Amino acid sequence: MTDFIDRAILIGLGLEKKIKELVGELQRLGEKEVKTGKEGEGLTPKKRLENMIVEESMNLVKELLSTLRSGKERLEEEVVDFSQRFVERLNLATKEDIDVIKEMARVAREKVDAIEKKIEELEHKGRKK
């Protein structure tokens, strides 16, 4: 269980590091744009910077979502793997085992009902004699 938690924490730390790197890159690009004061496509440097920040933010969000999806998949795999190992260690019955037991109980109940009916018939015949 601690291994699972450690992995989840490492995934979170990796995301945090990546986000910090991207934010730092955005800051550097913004500072560079302001210093150069380039006029592109008739936009002011401020507008170009805003557009670039929006584009970079969208890319960041897309990358973050992709990373989160892969992290989620790995986390789900870890949870399933851990759960299976935990159940195996406890030697718990599986769903298939329980289904077999239910079927056995149903068959046994039918046999008991048939035996009880037969006993009632025999008792009834015994009273008539």
DSSP 43: B
DSSP 4: H
At 60-97, the pLDDT tens digits run 777 877 888 888 888 888 888 988 888 788 888 888 99
Task: Residue 15: give the domain boundaries.
Answer: 2-92
65 and 33 in one domain? yes
One-letter amino acid at 127 equals R
DSSP letters, 58-118, are HHHHHHHHHHHHHHHHHHHHHHHHHHHHHHHHHTPPPHHHHHHHHHHHHHHHHHHHHHHHH
One-letter amino acid at 22 equals L
Count of domains in the chain? 2
128 and 75 in one domain? no
Predicted pLDDT of residue 109: 97
Predicted pLDDT of residue 39: 43
Give the chain's residues under pLDDT 70: 1-17, 19-20, 22-23, 26-27, 30-42, 129
Distance CA 94, CA 71 (A): 28
